[in-house]
Chains A and B, each alone.
Chain A
Amino acid sequence: MSKKRNPTVEAILFLVLLIICILFLVPIFIVLINSFKSRFFISSSPFSLPQAKTYVGMKNYVNGVEKIDFFSAFRYSLFITVFSVLAIDLVTSMLGWYLTRVKTKFTSVMYLLLVTSMIVPFQMVMFTMSKTANMLHLDNPVGIIVLYVGFGAGLSTFMFSGFIKSVPLALEEAAMIDGATPIVTFFQIVLPMLKPTAITVSILNTMWVWNDYLLPYLTIGTDYKTIPIAIQYLRGGYGSVDMGAMMAMLILAMIPVIFFYFFSQKFIIEGVIAGAVKG
């Protein structure tokens, strides 16, 4: 709308937005200042800046990293997230292509089951899934990838399939007539076309797997703690929490997320929109 703009109104709106954004950042700032305070002052004066008496330097960070073995948690989180997302992309793009291009009763039933699985809450399958995982020795950082592919398959297959449906068959058929096997057709023609959807699928799954708590907790949590699990372990028994270490670990947990956000912001925002429209 190219209407005459009232500069006073614009200035007020700018100010309002500025204040809202500052309010949005305050929680992170509070955690940051508290991560440098001795734990006794976190509960007694949480909103004041660290002063000579309350400042403890990097002590909370050193403590926390040691207590929850942060770096090994980071490695597990990174490994599980990267390989689960890659596996989801590869496996569900192939499945989505097959289910869309092969029209039989079986494929339409499978597709329907996958789509339905999207609304089922994790609690419905958590007990039986963790028992199955246990029985099949999937209770390790490699096996959990199978669980992430399986539980995430619904949304990702749906998204790939939705995109493939909008692509004309002609190109694939031409390749096949020229003698290309389905393998060549998929990897040389279909997969490159799927790139935008693959980015969306990767973004949505990265946000899910990296932050997921219950699934890894129930299947591998006691042996291989990911970051969310390690942080929750700081609570310990009977609610006693080392709040100093907790603050420091919250900051360390947020750093990779913020990095990820600033490097792939454009894709994240596009991915969220694309994901929402499909869902």
Chain B
Amino acid sequence: MQKSLQKYFALFALPGLICFCLAFFIPFIMGVVLSFCKFTTVTDAHFVGLDNFRKMFVDDTFMNSLWFTVKYAVVCTVSVNFFAFGLALLLTRKIKGTNVFRTILFMPNLIGGIVLGWIWQVIINGVLLKYNATIVTDPKYGFWGLVCVMNWQSIGYNMIIYIAGIQNISSDLLEAAEIDGAGKWVTLKDVIIPSMMSTFTICLFLSVTNGFKLFDQNLALTAGDPGRQTEMLALNIVNTFYGRSGFEGVGQAKALVFTVLVAVIAFSQLKLTRSREVEA
């Protein structure tokens, strides 16, 4: 079968591989090369070694956005997963209306980042009106605003995954715990959570990488204001490319560092939680 299928390479594999090369592979390789070049268009690039990386680290806005992004990703990962898991526990107790509740809680996830950002800008500005401030008065407001957006958007999504995880726990295990006289807290701590480690892996992975890659919500909610203090990494990179001529190489270098950072976080996080997974 392999032989006869191989003759059809052009039909089955080529379209996908061409698209992949045009949209991802070639741009990615070019991107890596251009990180070490000075350029304004792709054709006028010339090699400058590590100069872009040096410029990147003396750029305060980059270090600020890196720090801002790290803080944001940590806060969001903790809060989103805390609430998502809590709601998942509640919604697997067969309380009346469970399906309607799930439907409502998941809905914000389908709304696009730009729209989400604007919705919350109105609300947060409305709340801050009392204090004669707006969301761009203080970077603190922008930070917590972004946390609100992310929570509103992602709690339902993670909750759905946690619900699936809880429903996968074998009822034998839970009954055994009950017969042994385990209380609610002990059952949660020693039975439910350990047998759901793979679900935690997935949800934490998704939250951390989404937190790092956040762009649309950031653009619509604060656009980085005041004074680029709420500019997250993804937005900082876009602004370096398209906001400052002559700094395209620095932008590409930032993007490379960003990619490596996301990859390192993703892998170490997978490794860390995977090692705690247990077979039920």
**What residues make up the interface of A, taking CB atoms closer than 8 Å to B?**
1, 3, 10, 13-14, 16-18, 20-21, 24-25, 27-28, 30-31, 34, 42-44, 46-47, 91-92, 94-95, 97-99, 101-103, 107, 110, 113-114, 117, 119-129, 131-133, 136, 138, 146-151, 153-154, 157, 169, 172-173, 176, 181-183, 186, 207, 210-214, 227-228, 231-232, 235, 239, 243, 246-247, 250, 253-254, 257-258, 260-261, 265, 268-269, 272-273, 276-277, 279
Is there a chain A Cβ closer than 8 Å to B57's Cβ?
Answer: no
Residues 1 to 56 of chain B near chain A (Cβ within 8 Å): 1-2, 4-9, 11-13, 15-28, 30-31, 34, 41-42
With contacts A10-B95, A46-B122, A273-B161 known, is A213 near B22, CB below 8 A?
no
Task: Give the residues in chain A near B6, CB-CB below 8 Å.
Answer: 102
Q: Which residues of A contact B17 (CB under 8 A)?
A: 95, 110
Alpha-carbon distance between A36 and B115 when the two chains are bound, in angstroms: 18
Question: Smallest Cβ distance from A2 to chain B, in angstroms?
Answer: 9
Task: List the 5 shortest-distance A-B pairs measured between CB atoms, nearest first.
Answer: A150-B23, A211-B112, A95-B16, A46-B126, A150-B19
A24–B259 CB distance below 8 A: no
Please name the residue on chain A nearest to B216 by beta carbon: A213
- Cα distance, A154 to B20, chains bound together (Å): 8
Prevailing SS type, chain A contact patch: helix
B106: contacting residue among A148, A151, A211, A269, CB under 8 A: A269
Distance (whole angstroms) from the CB of B263 to the closest CB of chain A? 6
User: In the complex, which of the residues B18, B115, B119, B178 contacts A3, with contact meaning CB atoms closer than 8 Å?
Assistant: B178
Q: Check B2–A232 contact: CB distance below 8 A.
A: no
Complex interface: chain A residues within 8 A of B244 (CB): none
Contact of B248 among A17, A24, A127 (CB under 8 A): A127
Q: Check A231/B115 contact, CB under 8 A, given A97-B12, A102-B5, A172-B1.
A: yes
Q: How many A-B contacts at CB < 8 Å in the complex?
A: 288
| Docked complex Cα distance between A232 and B113 (Å) | 11
Binds A, one of B58-66, B71-79, B249-257, B272-280: B249-257
Q: Please, what's the 1-or-0 string for B138-164, where 1 marks a CB less than 8 Å from any CB in chain A? A: 000000000000001000110011001
User: CA separation between A248 and B24, bound complex, in Å?
Assistant: 37
**Is residue B80 contacting chain A, with contact meaning CB distance below 8 A?**
no
Q: Which residues of A have CB within 8 Å of B215?
A: 122-123, 213-214
The one of A13, A21, A120 in contact with B259, judged by C-beta atoms closer than 8 angstroms, is: A120
Cβ-defined partner of B112 (8 Å) among A128, A213, A277: A213
Nearest Cβ in chain A — how far from B136, in angstroms?
9
A261 in contact with B110 given A17-B97, A21-B101, A250-B119 (CB within 8 Å)? yes
Q: Does B241 contact A (CB under 8 A)?
A: yes
